[in-house]
Amino acid sequence: MTDYVVGFEQIDATMLATVGGKGANLGELSRLGGVRVPDGFCVTTDAYAEATAGDPTLADLVEGLSRLGVEDAAGIREAGTRIRKVIEAVTIPTVIADAIRARLAPPGGTDSGKSGATGGGNGGEPADATDAYAVRSSATAEDLPTASFAGQQDTYLNVSGADAVLRDIRRCWASLFTDRAISYRLRHGIDHRTVRLAVVVQRMFLPEVAGIMFTADPLSSDRRTVSIDAGFGLGEALVSGLTNADNYTVREGRITGRRIADQALAVSAAPDGGTVRETVDPARRDVQKLADADILRLAGLGRTIEAHFGSPQDIEWAYAGGTFFVVQSRPITTLFPIPGPGDNTNHLYMSFGHQQMMTDAMTPLGLSFFQLQMGNTPLVEAGGRFFIDMAPDLASPVGRRILKASLHAIDPLIDSAVRGLLRRPGYVTKLARGGPRFFSLTNNAGYFTWRLPVEAIRLYRRNDPGTIPRLTAGHEVTLDDLQRRLADLSGDAVFDAVQTDVQRLGKEVTDAHSMAVVYVGMYALSWVNRRMKRWLGVEAAGDALSQSVGNDVTSTMGLALLDVADAVRSRPAVLAALPQLTDATFFEDLAALDGGEEVGRVIRDFLTTYGMRCSGEIDITRPRWSEAPSILVPVILSAIRNLEPDARTIRVERSRREAEELEQSLLDRLRTLRGGRRKAARTATMISRLRNFAGYREYPKYLMMRHYWVLKHALTGEAAGLVADAVVERPDDVYFLTVEEFREAVRTRRVDSGLIARRRAEHQAWARLTPPRVITSDGEVPPGSYDHSAVPAGALVGIAASAGTVEGRARIIRDLPEAHLEEGDILVTTFTDPSWTPVFLSVKGVVTEVGGAGTHGAVVAREYGLPAVVGVEGATRLISDGRRIRVNGTDGYVELL
């Protein structure tokens, strides 16, 4: 017989599908020694299914939710209202209603009792328990380790009488389809048909004090600090934000912080049911709500609960008669996981993704593939991202000096956060000293090899314009050879070839000769900027001259897309149909249109050279433009709207002319200075180095992506074989295996489908988290800061990446398919990599949350002459879409107008 109602004493963590997240956690808590949980029971998901199965219209209404978009507020509101009305009107089957009434029977009644049938092993009633109940929703996708869903369904407090409890159970069921719950599931890709609802019914009591406890500090993420909010009355006042709360922080058994709130209002039980707001006696408003001894006792209770569940917890608690009661505990899902081993030593992890302009979560295949390429680089994985343990570098006096000299160029916010930690008394002496160092003379991937300065000096002196063409010609030979070899391979031989090429690629990209070209170009740019400012007072002269440099594959890619835009512009049928084309039949549908074959040839030509690119491209599993050409459609249409025909020719010629005129002007003015002929000669030579070498800055990553595309094509063939043999259900299932696991699946024709499903869900959870720039082995995320001394009040501070000032409408764009831009827009996004270059052609300025003066967005912005500020933390959140802003790329700030 189905159990429609179960007591807390019958519940454990394995019953998530039956009692939901809240119910499962309360069942676990009720079994935990030393933890008191008010008596209660759960109305199971089977009861919900049985009660709602009788209405034939409900399934159709729920099915219709899948056709709504997350931004369709009106559609969500209308559909949710209809579904809730249906559920609130259902008749609860007699067998279910009778089971609930039996659990609610007064003490001495059949199969009941205040501390009997409704209770668990650690339950029981506080001295001031009432005959009322709290009726609380418990969804199967709620209070989980990867998604809390907190507050998505409803809670009803101080509910008296069986009829009222049954009414509110129906209302809880209906709250599975509140607007906020529907939107949350749409945003996180959760099927509405698979989520079911249980209901927790728990005895109410009147606490003296109640609140929330986090066993990891929600502000700093420090796992060693417990943060407690406390207020008079029911905890509802704090959860809803109605009133201020005391806050206490506890670290290692000691109260480290105490903020006493002036609490004007409290929430208490109303005599006729529900709750009521009451004014707190003025004499009590600003007193400490919990005594110090109770604060420490509560923090210890939190650590007990955390240890049981195995992760930091968000705990709702209440205090009455000298006893703490726990009314809920859920995982804190917003904490970023700690990288590295838990070896009880202090580590300091720096985000590798913030340097690579890739802060999105990577798949297991993407992570393991990239790790193969990076070889000896000491990368540590957490939350689908890579981090570098800087502790061994910082523990060494030499390494510490190198880091202090280097971090500001990498990311000023990382630099600021690390320096703040180093200023803490005794911090350096406690750092882990073992392990590989990133800034090592023997570590190629750190770019600090002894050959680098030797090669750079040689290139600098020779200043040979043929250097880059010779380098790239050699790479073309290597790529052609790779393609020929892979064409005849399958199975194990494919993986052998992939591993060999990836490891060779890692060395090739960071080869001292190749990196020396990059550094000479960067030095020439810096020299021109610094000397022209010092000698002539001209700001960012090198940035302006960069607009005419050659051999820049990324800038050329953006210009090449203008040729595609021109091909589309002159063919109205293609222009009208382009937004509706899908990737699966893109070129077939295009060929059926008037002028479509010609446009198709132009797009294919573009993809032959650049189709291996995509956003977040260091993850080999991300869809490349050749796989998903529709990604380019919004960018092409924006170029048509915002730019004139033949824009490529016009822009190239204008940039060349302006650069030549600027160079001549600078040299003429220099000759009028004291020692001017010598200064002019040195400047002319340095400008030639700038033009000869600066364009190569973007080539190593382009080379990486060309190899990635060839290797991905080979791996995709192996994945297709696994699908054909029914080893995996779909090709992208292999993305959730490591390279070695993928290889083993190909060899054995077997794979753990449960492992793939778990990793897919985990990846979706990691994707929702924002990775920190720096995180310690305690889980603390130390904040970084910029110098605000010369910045207008209210401005957002970042890094001056490309000189100039511009005003326009901010467009918040997080992914290329969203890039619908109008003339005069300013791009505001999280990060840009080379795939974003075409977007730069249609905007007036650029603002990013991640980046430095030498990263992709800054380089391309300078070459296109766009004012840019990068590293503006929280830009996509603090700047609203459509807001008029002023970007000062010279001084590095953004004003909200």
856 is catalytic: yes
Structure tokens at 53: 């199965």
Residues 547, 865 contacting (CB under 8 angstroms): yes
Q: What is the residue-wise DSSP string for 511-550?
A: -HHHHHHHHHHHHHHHHHHHHHHHHH--TTHHHHHGGG-S
Residue 848's closest CA among 885, 801, 795?
Answer: 801
Helix axes 16-30, 45-52, angle to 10 degrees: 150
Interatomic CA distance for residues 258 and 543, integer angstroms: 51
Active-site residue (options: 192, 347, 354, 856): 856
Residues 198, 19 contacting (CB under 8 angstroms): yes
Q: What is the residue-wise DSSP string for 823-835?
A: TTEEEEES---GG
Strands 845-848 and 868-870: parallel
Query: Tokens 């080893």 — which residue?
Result: 727
Q: What is the residue-wise DSSP string for 57-90?
A: HHHHHHHHGGG--TT-HHHHHHHHHHHHHHHHTP
Residues 275, 156 contacting (CB under 8 angstroms): no
Structure tokens at 793: 């009040």
Which residues are CB-contacts of 403 (< 8 A; sequence separation ≥ 6)? 390, 393, 394, 418, 439
Based on its alpha-carbon atoms, the radius of gyration of the chain, rounded to whole angstroms, reads 31
| Residue 346 DSSP symbol | B
Interatomic CA distance for residues 172 and 179, integer angstroms: 14
Angle at 18 between CA 17 and CA 19, to 5 degrees: 105
Helix (H) / strand (E) element for 807: namely strand 805-812
Q: Residue 103 is which amino acid? A: R
Interatomic CA distance for residues 443 and 435, integer angstroms: 13
Residues 253, 296 contacting (CB under 8 angstroms): yes
Torsion of Cα atoms, 845 then 850 then 852 then 858, to 10°: -30
CB atoms within 10 A of CB 34: 10
Interatomic CA distance for residues 815 and 616, integer angstroms: 10
Give the N- to C-terminal CA distance of the chain in Å, as an integer: 66
Helix axes 94-103, 45-52, angle to 10 degrees: 140
Q: Residue 556 is which amino acid? A: T
Interatomic CA distance for residues 165 and 89, integer angstroms: 15
Length of the chain, in residues: 897
Interatomic CA distance for residues 39 and 118, integer angstroms: 5
Residues that are catalytic:
856
